[in-house]
C-alpha cells in the first residue's frame, strides 16, 4: 500500500523478480479491502497516505486477523515517533524510506520465515495442550525443603478442588489405603533422588468421584548445593484405562516395543475375518515377513538401536499396509501381515509394495541401516480357511524363500500338515551338513596390479546340497547365524582354509588365503585361540592367513576390536576390512584400526566408470591407504574398464569375475599356474 505510484511500481518489480506475487493498493482503504479479499502472506505499507493512513490501516488489519500476518511499515528515516506508532498499531517490522531495494527482498523473506515459524509453534502448542487435555495430563513441582507444591493450571480439574500446596495437603486428598505408600515414595526421592512413580486413588468422597491418578517425577540435579532440592514431574488421570482394564488387555495382545498385535491377536484377527461372509468371495493373504540381517544390526549397533529399528520397521509396515486385516509382530524380527486379496496377482502386488517399503534405508542413531527382507505368503482361497495353518504355511514359505534366494515366495500348492516339516528339514539338513561333508570352500583369486600376479585368494563357503545343488552363502549364513551354528561352521572354515594354504605353499604356490568372519565369531572370546590352533594344526605360515571383518563389526566395540586386531597382527596374521565404503565408513577408522588391507566394496567399483563422486571417494581411500601402506583390494571387478579405472585410482589389487569367479580347489590351482594377464586381450 502506497499512494506514490513510482514506489508501488518499484516495489512490485523488485519483489516479483524474487518470485513473490504482489498486489498493489493506492490507499489505506483499498489496502484493507485487498487484505480482506486476498489474505496475502505479508503486508508492506506506507505510513503517510491520504485518507486512511498507515497506522489506522495497520490497526484495522490487526483487528481482522490477530497477529498472524506480518506487517512491514515504511517510515521516514529517523522518524522515531512514527516507528513507535507503527509498533503500537501492530506492525511486525519497519523499513525506512527511501527504500534500500537490495535489502527489501531479504527483509520480506525474513519476516515470512519467522511468521511461518510462529505459526508452527502456535500449532505445536495447541496440539500439545489438546493432547494433555485428552490424556488428562498435568505437571507439578515439589520444592522439598520448603515443602511447597506447585501445579499446572489444570490440576484443579484433574484432582478435584483446589490443588494441594504441600505434601501433607496432597496426602489428605489421597485414599487412606494408599496414603502411606505415596508419602514414602515422595520422601524417598527427596532423600536419595531417583524416580518417583506412584499410582493412587483419590479419597472416597473426593468431589470428582472415584478417580485413579499416577504421579511420576524426578529430582532435579542442582549444581549449586545451596539450591533447594526440587522434584519435577507429571500427573495423569488414568481412571478410565485402569477401570476398564483396557491396558491389561492391550498388553496381553500387543507387542510392547512396536505396539503391533502379537501372534495370538493376529491369529484371532485372521480367524474373525475368515468367519465373515466377506471372506467367502474375497480372499485373504497371510504373509510372514522376516528381516534377515536383523541379528547383525543388533550385534553391530547394540540392542537399543535394534529396538529402534524394529519400531521403525513396524511404523513403515503400518503405513504400507493401511486397511489390513491384521499386522503383528509374530517373532523377534518377524512380522505377520494379513491383507484382503481377490486373487494371487493382487496378493503378490500388495506384498511386493510392502517389501519394497522396507528396502529403503532406515536411520538409526544417525546411521543408515538396511534390512534384508524375505517374505512367504499363503492365500485363503488356495491354502485353506484355517488361521493357524495359513500362518504356518506362510512361515514355511518364507524359510524356503530365504534358502532359494527369493524375496517373496508363495506357499506351495498341496500343502498339508506334514508340509510343516519342510522348514525343519532345512534346519536339520544344515545341522548335519558339517558331518556329512557338504560344506566346501571355493577360492576367488586376487591379482596384484603391480606384476599382474595372483597373490591371494578369498575363501568363500558353499553348501553342496545333494538335491538343491550348490547353495550360495547369502542363503544359508543368516540361518547358521540365527541357529547359533556359525561358530562351529566358522571354525571348520578356518581349519579348511589353513589346510589349503599350507598345501599350496608346500607345492611351491604360496597364496594368501582370506577367511570371512561373521559377527558372532568375532565377538566370541575364543576366536584368537581358534585361529592359532587351526594354524598350528596345519603348520600354516601366519602371513598367509588373512581375516576379513566388516567395519560395522569392528565399530561395535572399537576398543575391544583394536585389542584383538593388534593381537592378531602381532601373531603375524593379516587383517582386512571387508565391504569398505558401504557401512559406517569413516576414514577415521582407517587411522585407528590396526589393519593391512581395505576391500573396496563392489558397489563403488560398479559405479566407478560412471560417477565422478564415486571416483573421488575411491581416490580418497587409496590415497590414505597408500600413505598408511595398506593394501587396497577392489572387489567385484567385472570388466577391463573397471580394472583400468581402479588401477588409475591407485588400488593395489583386483578381485572379481574379470579375473575369475570363485573356483573349487583343483580348478584354482590350475588357474593360478596358467595365469597370464593380458590387458586389453
Task: Kindly determine how many residues on this chain lie close enough to bind Ca ion according to the rule CB under 5 A.
Answer: 5
Task: Tell me if 491 contacts ligand C2E by CB under 6 A.
Answer: no
Cα–Cα distance measured from residue 524 to residue 530, given in angstroms and rounded to the nearest whole number: 10
For 480, the 3-state DSSP assignment is helix
Task: Tell me if 307 contacts ligand C2E by CB under 6 A.
Answer: no
Task: Tell me if 642 contacts ligand C2E by CB under 6 A.
Answer: no
518 binds, among Ca ion, ligand C2E, none (CB under 5 to 8 A by kind): ligand C2E
In the complex with ligand C2E, the residue whose CB is nearer, 383 or 462, is 462
Cα–Cα distance measured from residue 303 to residue 308, given in angstroms and rounded to the nearest whole number: 9
Q: 175 with 182: CB under 8 angstroms?
A: no
CB-based contacts of 271, cutoff 8 Å, min separation 6: 387
Task: Tell me if 470 contacts ligand C2E by CB under 6 A.
Answer: no
In the complex with ligand C2E, the residue whose CB is nearer, 156 or 524, is 524
CB-based contacts of 586, cutoff 8 Å, min separation 6: none
Q: 521 with 489: CB under 8 angstroms?
A: no
Task: Tell me if 474 contacts ligand C2E by CB under 6 A.
Answer: yes
Interface pick for ligand C2E out of 215, 656, 663, 668 (rule CB under 6 A): 656
In the complex with ligand C2E, the residue whose CB is nearer, 27 or 459, is 459
Grid coordinates representing 201 are 486413588
Least Å distance between CB 595 and ligand C2E?
Answer: 15
Grid coordinates representing 624 are 590414505
In the complex with ligand C2E, the residue whose CB is nearer, 398 or 552, is 552
| CA-to-CA separations, 545 to 53, 57, 437, 513, 572, in angstroms, rounded | 88, 84, 23, 5, 8
Q: 235 with 214: CB under 8 angstroms?
A: yes
Task: Tell me if 581 contacts ligand C2E by CB under 6 A.
Answer: no
* Cross-strand bridge partners of residue 338: 286, 326
656 binds, among Ca ion, ligand C2E, none (CB under 5 to 8 A by kind): ligand C2E
Neighbours of 162 (CB within 10 A): 11
In the complex with ligand C2E, the residue whose CB is nearer, 89 or 461, is 461
Cα–Cα distance measured from residue 618 to residue 549, given in angstroms and rounded to the nearest whole number: 19
Interface with Ca ion in residues 619-678 (CB under 5 A): 635
CB-based contacts of 487, cutoff 8 Å, min separation 6: 520, 521, 524
For 261, the 3-state DSSP assignment is strand
Q: Contact region for ligand C2E (CB under 6 A) — 95-103, 157-165, 282-290, 510-518?
A: 510-518
Task: Tell me if 472 contacts ligand C2E by CB under 6 A.
Answer: yes
Supply angle C-alpha 461, 464, 466, rounded to 5: 165
636 binds, among Ca ion, ligand C2E, none (CB under 5 to 8 A by kind): ligand C2E
Interface pick for ligand C2E out of 477, 535, 564, 598 (rule CB under 6 A): 477
Task: Tell me if 657 contacts ligand C2E by CB under 6 A.
Answer: yes
Task: Tell me if 636 contacts ligand C2E by CB under 6 A.
Answer: yes
Interface pick for ligand C2E out of 662, 668, 669, 672 (rule CB under 6 A): 662
In the complex with ligand C2E, the residue whose CB is nearer, 36 or 474, is 474
Least Å distance between CB 545 and Ca ion?
Answer: 14
183 binds, among Ca ion, ligand C2E, none (CB under 5 to 8 A by kind): none
Q: 283 with 347: CB under 8 angstroms?
A: yes
Interface pick for Ca ion out of 399, 415, 516, 634 (rule CB under 5 A): 516
In the complex with ligand C2E, the residue whose CB is nearer, 392 or 634, is 634
In the complex with ligand C2E, the residue whose CB is nearer, 638 or 644, is 638
Least Å distance between CB 468 and ligand C2E?
Answer: 15
For 655, the 3-state DSSP assignment is strand
* Bridging pattern class, strands 545-550 and 334-341: unpaired
In the complex with ligand C2E, the residue whose CB is nearer, 290 or 579, is 579
Identify the H or E element spanning 577.
Answer: strand 574-580
Task: Tell me if 548 contacts Ca ion by CB under 5 A.
Answer: yes
Is residue 193 exposed (0-12), middle (13-18) or buried (19+ Cβ within 10 Å)? middle
Cα–Cα distance measured from residue 532 to residue 399, given in angstroms and rounded to the nearest whole number: 36
In the complex with Ca ion, the residue whose CB is nearer, 144 or 461, is 461
For 294, the 3-state DSSP assignment is helix
In the complex with ligand C2E, the residue whose CB is nearer, 173 or 518, is 518
Task: Tell me if 518 contacts ligand C2E by CB under 6 A.
Answer: yes
* Bridging pattern class, strands 453-465 and 469-471: antiparallel
Q: Contact region for ligand C2E (CB under 6 A) — 89-97, 244-252, 294-302, 636-644?
A: 636-644
Q: 258 with 324: CB under 8 angstroms?
A: no
In the complex with Ca ion, the residue whose CB is nearer, 471 or 576, is 576
638 binds, among ligand C2E, Ca ion, none (CB under 5 to 8 A by kind): ligand C2E
Is residue 545 exposed (0-12), middle (13-18) or buried (19+ Cβ within 10 Å)? buried
Cα–Cα distance measured from residue 651 to residue 659, given in angstroms and rounded to the nearest whole number: 15
Task: Tell me if 579 contacts Ca ion by CB under 5 A.
Answer: yes
Least Å distance between CB 516 and Ca ion?
Answer: 5
Nearest one of 120, 114, 215 to 163, comparing CA atoms: 215
Binding site for Ca ion (CB under 5 A): 516, 548, 578-579, 635
Binding site for ligand C2E (CB under 6 A): 444, 460-461, 472-474, 477, 490, 493, 516-518, 578-579, 636-638, 656-657, 662
Amino acid at each position: 500500500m502506497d499512494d506514490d505510484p513510482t514506489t508501488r511500481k518499484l516495489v512490485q518489480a523488485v519483489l516479483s523478480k524474487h518470485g513473490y506475487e504482489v498486489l498493489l493498493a493506492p490507499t489505506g482503504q483499498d489496502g484493507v479491502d485487498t487484505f480482506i479479499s486476498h489474505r496475502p502472506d505479508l503486508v508492506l505499507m506506507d505510513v503517510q497516505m491520504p485518507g486512511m493512513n498507515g497506522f489506522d490501516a495497520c490497526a484495522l488489519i490487526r483487528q481482522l486477523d490477530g497477529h498472524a500476518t506480518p506487517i512491514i511499515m515504511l517510515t521516514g528515516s529517523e522518524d522515531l515517533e512514527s516507528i513507535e506508532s507503527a509498533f503500537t498499531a501492530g506492525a511486525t517490522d519497519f523499513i525506512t524510506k527511501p527504500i534500500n531495494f537490495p535489502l527489501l527482498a531479504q527483509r520480506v523473506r525474513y519476516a515470512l520465515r519467522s511468521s511461518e515459524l510462529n505459526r508452527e509453534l502456535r500449532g505445536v502448542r495447541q496440539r500439545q495442550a489438546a493432547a494433555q487435555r485428552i490424556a488428562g495430563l498435568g505437571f507439578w513441582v515439589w520444592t522439598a525443603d520448603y515443602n511447597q507444591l506447585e501445579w499446572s493450571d489444570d490440576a484443579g480439574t484433574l484432582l478435584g478442588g483446589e490443588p494441594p500446596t504441600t505434601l501433607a495437603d496432597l496426602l489428605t486428598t489421597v485414599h487412606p489405603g494408599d496414603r502411606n505408600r505415596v508419602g514414602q515414595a515422595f520422601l524417598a526421592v527427596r532423600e536419595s533422588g531417583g524416580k518417583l512413580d506412584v499410582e493412587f486413588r483419590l479419597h472416597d468422597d473426593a468431589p470428582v468421584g472415584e478417580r485413579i491418578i499416577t504421579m511420576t517425577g524426578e529430582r532435579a540435579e542442582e549444581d549449586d548445593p545451596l539450591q533447594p532440592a526440587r522434584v519435577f514431574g507429571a500427573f495423569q488421570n488414568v481412571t478410565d484405562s485402569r477401570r476398564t482394564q483396557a491396558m491389561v488387555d492391550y498388553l496381553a495382545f500387543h507387542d510392547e516395543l512396536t505396539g503391533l498385535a502379537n501372534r495370538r491377536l493376529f491369529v484371532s484377527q485372521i480367524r474373525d475375518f475368515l468367519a465373515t461372509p466377506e471372506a467367502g468371495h474375497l480372499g485373504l493373504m497371510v504373509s510372514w515377513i522376516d528381516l534377515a540381517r536383523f541379528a547383525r544390526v543388533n550385534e553391530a549397533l547394540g540392542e537399543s538401536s535394534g529396538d529402534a529399528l524394529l519400531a521403525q520397521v513396524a511404523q513403515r509396515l503400518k503405513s504400507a499396509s493401511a486397511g489390513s486385516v491384521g499386522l503383528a509382530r509374530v517373532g523377534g524380527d518377524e512380522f505377520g501381515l494379513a491383507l484382503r486379496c481377490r486373487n494371487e496377482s493382487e496378493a503378490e502386488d500388495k506384498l511386493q509394495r510392502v517389501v519394497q517399503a522396507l528396502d529403503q534405508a532406515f536411520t538409526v542413531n544417525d546411521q543408515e541401516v538396511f534390512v534384508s527382507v524375505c517374505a512367504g505368503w499363503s492365500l485363503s482361497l488356495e491354502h485353506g480357511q484355517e488361521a493357524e495353518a495359513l500362518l504356518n504355511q506362510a512361515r514355511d514359505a518364507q524359510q524356503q524363500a530365504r534358502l532359494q534366494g527369493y524375496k517373496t515366495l508363495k506357499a506351495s500348492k498341496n500343502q498339508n500338515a506334514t508340509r510343516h516339516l519342510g522348514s525343519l528339514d532345512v534346519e536339520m539338513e544344515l545341522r548335519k551338513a558339517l558331518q556329512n561333508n557338504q560344506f566346501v570352500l571355493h577360492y576367488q583369486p586376487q591379482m596384484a596390479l603391480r606384476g599382474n600376479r595372483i597373490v591371494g585368494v578369498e575363501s568363500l563357503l558353499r553348501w553342496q546340497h545333494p538335491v538343491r545343488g550348490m547353495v550360495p552363502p547369502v542363503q544359508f549364513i543368516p540361518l547358521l547365524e540365527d541357529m547359533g551354528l556359525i561358530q562351529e561352521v566358522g571354525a571348520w572354515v578356518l581349519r579348511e582354509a589353513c589346510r589349503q594354504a599350507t598345501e599350496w605353499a608346500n607345492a611351491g604356490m604360496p597364496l594368501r588365503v582370506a577367511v570371512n568372519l561373521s559377527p558372532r565369531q568375532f565377538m566370541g572370546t575364543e576366536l584368537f585361540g581358534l585361529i592359532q590352533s587351526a594354524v598350528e594344526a596345519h603348520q600354516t605360515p601366519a602371513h598367509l592367513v588373512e581375516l576379513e571383518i566388516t567395519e560395522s563389526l569392528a565399530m561395535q566395540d572399537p576398543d575391544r576390536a583394536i585389542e584383538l586386531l593388534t593381537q592378531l597382527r602381532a601373531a603375524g596374521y593379516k587383517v582386512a576390512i571387508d565391504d569398505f565404503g558401504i557401512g559406517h565408513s569413516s576414514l577415521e577408522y582407517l587411522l585407528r584400526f590396526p589393519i593391512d588391507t581395505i576391500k573396496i566394496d563392489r558397489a563403488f567399483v560398479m559405479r566407478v566408470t560412471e560417477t565422478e563422486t564415486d571416483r573421488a571417494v575411491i581416490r580418497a581411500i587409496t590415497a590414505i591407504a597408500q600413505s598408511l601402506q595398506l593394501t587396497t583390494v577392489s572387489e567385484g571387478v567385472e570388466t577391463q574398464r573397471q580394472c583400468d579405472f581402479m588401477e588409475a585410482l591407485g588400488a593395489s589389487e583386483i578381485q572379481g569375475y574379470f579375473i575369475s569367479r570363485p573356483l573349487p580347489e583343483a580348478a584354482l590351482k590350475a588357474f593360478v599356474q596358467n595365469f597370464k594377464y593380458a590387458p586389453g586381450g
